[in-house]
Amino acid sequence: MESITIITDHSDYGMTIKRVYEKEGFHIAGFIVPESSGLQGEIDGVCAKTIGGTAPSELEGVSMIVAAFADEEEGEELLDRLMSLDPDGFQDKQIVIPDAGDIQRRIRKYFPFSPERVLSNTEPLSRLSGLDRGEAIDRYYIERFLREEAEKLGEPSLTLEVGDDRYSTAFFPKAEHEILNYLEGMDLTDQRTLPPERYDVFICTQTIPQIYDVRKAVSGAKSVLKPGGVLLATVCGCATQLSKEDGEWDHFWGFTEASFRRLLSDEFGEEHVRVKGYGNAMAATAFIQGLSQEDIDISLLDKNDSDFSIVICAAAVKR
């Protein structure tokens, strides 16, 4: 049986890759992880060592290195560091960086969804909100909300989005876009780190639940908007998968329409806030089980029942 080593920066994604390659007949010799990840020790029953704690001799007998990264930039750095330990030792090894779409297709093939499984197994199909299987179900509603709001708003001049500009470019293609990057010192709970009254639209999806002081976060979100500017915010409802980052919880809150409306109204004024929950009982069940959009009849997501919201969406105008 051919042995492989998996380099990863995220334990759940590493386990997904492990499951795929085990189904294809490979032996997983071990994991290699970043020193800062807190993952060292064991992942899914397999020894996990850091880059610095991995001796070149430990890779002898391993024919393939599978580099599977949640963060592509960090992953490339990890791979370069590992290869620098023993450049000659990697000449006989195949280096594979799996394509995310291909991994999703293989996961759905090897671990297909069956309705019976949902009510007979306490382990979800995915602990990554279905992202290892395809497109996450909550994104269907987030994108639906943003599309609806973009049609109402027309074309702003300048947008801000948390983390990247994926949705800004998709829904406001003619605008200029900027990114709020926490790692570069931009903190919604500290207005000193934020540009005041600069943006026409601020897209803030699934971020507020990851901030403990949500009142300060909403105040910070308002501060970056020009008068008349619009905050387009989404948060998770009460039916959701919780998430961790480097082994620590990065998810503090779940919301209802009432709680999110109250939170935003206290800052923007009730008359300037519109809130709507998206989801239904089927969508909530599927999302908790870690199914992807590709696993289900997607037309079933269109029936909305706010008693089972998985995403709460809001548009708030600064006056």
CATH code, 20: 3.40.50.720
157 lies in some domain? yes
Q: In this predicted structure, what is the pLDDT of residue 163?
A: 93
Task: Specify if 109 maps to a domain.
Answer: no
Dihedral (Cα; 167, 170, 171, 174), 10-degree rounding:
120
**How many other C-beta atoms lie within 10 A of the C-beta of residue 169?**
14
Same-domain status, 123 and 271: yes
Question: What is the model's pLDDT at position 243?
Answer: 67
Same domain, 296 and 185: yes
**One domain for residues 158 and 74:** no
Better-predicted residue by pLDDT, 299 or 7: 299
pLDDT band at residue 203 using 50, 70 and 90 as cut-offs: very high
Examine residue 281 and state whether it is found in any structural domain, yes or no: yes
* Tokens, residue 262: 């109250």
What's the pLDDT band for 238 if we cut at 50, 70, 90? Answer: confident
Do 135 and 252 belong to one domain?
A: yes
Long-range contacts of range 208-211, CB-CB < 8 Å, 24 or more positions apart?
208/233, 208/235, 208/253, 209/235, 209/236, 209/251, 209/252, 209/253, 209/254, 209/255, 210/250, 210/251, 210/252, 211/252
Confidence of residue 61 (pLDDT cuts 50, 70, 90): confident
Residue 194 lies in a domain: yes
Task: Give yes or no for residue 247 having a pLDDT over 70.
Answer: no
Structure tokens at 266: 């206290």
Mean pLDDT for the stretch of residues 168-175: 96
Q: Name the most confidently modeled range: 68-77, 80-89, 111-120, 175-184.
A: 175-184
- Supply the pLDDT for residue 167: 97
61, 122: one domain: no
CATH code assigned at 247: 3.40.50.150
Q: pLDDT by residue (tens digit) across 120-129?
A: 888 899 988 9
278 and 205 inside one domain: yes
**Domain-located, residue 65:** yes
* Residue 55, pLDDT score: 66
Residue 142 shares a structural domain with residue 88: no
Dist. CA 204–CA 221, nearest whole Å? 8
**230 shares its domain with 165:** yes
Query: CB within 8 A of 302, min separation 6: which ones?
Result: none
Q: What percent of the chain has pLDDT over 70?
A: 95
Residues 283 and 169 in one domain: yes
Mean per-residue pLDDT for 149-173?
Answer: 95
* pLDDT above 90 for 318: yes
Per the domain annotation, does 155 fall within a domain?
yes
In a domain, 108, yes or no: no
- The alpha carbon dihedral of 319, 230, 253, 192 has a sign of negative
Query: Each residue of 254-292: pLDDT tens digit?
Result: 999 999 999 999 999 999 999 999 999 999 999 999 999
| pLDDT given at position 17 | 92
Predicted pLDDT at 44 = 85
Distance of alpha carbon 68 from alpha carbon 112, whole angstroms:
22
Q: Of 46-55, 87-96, 190-199, which one has max mean pLDDT?
A: 190-199
Return left, alpha or beta for 161; rule: phi > 0 is left, psi -120 to 50 is alpha, else beta: beta
What pLDDT score was predicted for residue 146? 98
Looking at the structure, tell me whether residues 199 and 167 fall in a common domain. Answer: yes
Structural domain total, the chain: 2
What is the average pLDDT value for the chain, to the nearest integer? 90
Least confident of 48-57, 148-157, 164-173, 295-304: 48-57
HEC string of 18-80 equals HHHHHHCCCEEEEEEECHHHCCCEEECCEEEEECCCCCHHHHCCCCEEEEECCCHHHHHHHHH
The pTM of this model reads 0.85
Task: Identify the domain containing residue 86 by its residue range.
Answer: 3-98
CA dist 201 to 86, 265, 274, 294, Å?
49, 18, 15, 31
**Does residue 240 have a pLDDT over 90?**
no
Last residue of a domain, one of 38, 67, 98: 98
Residues 18 and 76 in one domain: yes
Report the pLDDT value the prediction gives residue 74, as an integer from 0 to 100.
72
Residue 159 clears pLDDT 60, i.e. is over it: yes
From the CB of residue 121, how many other CB atoms can be counted at a distance below 10 Å? Answer: 11
- CA distance linking residue 26 with residue 303, whole number of Å: 43
Are 165 and 265 in a shared domain?
A: yes
Mean pLDDT along residues 192-215? 96
User: What letter represents residue 86's amino acid?
Assistant: D
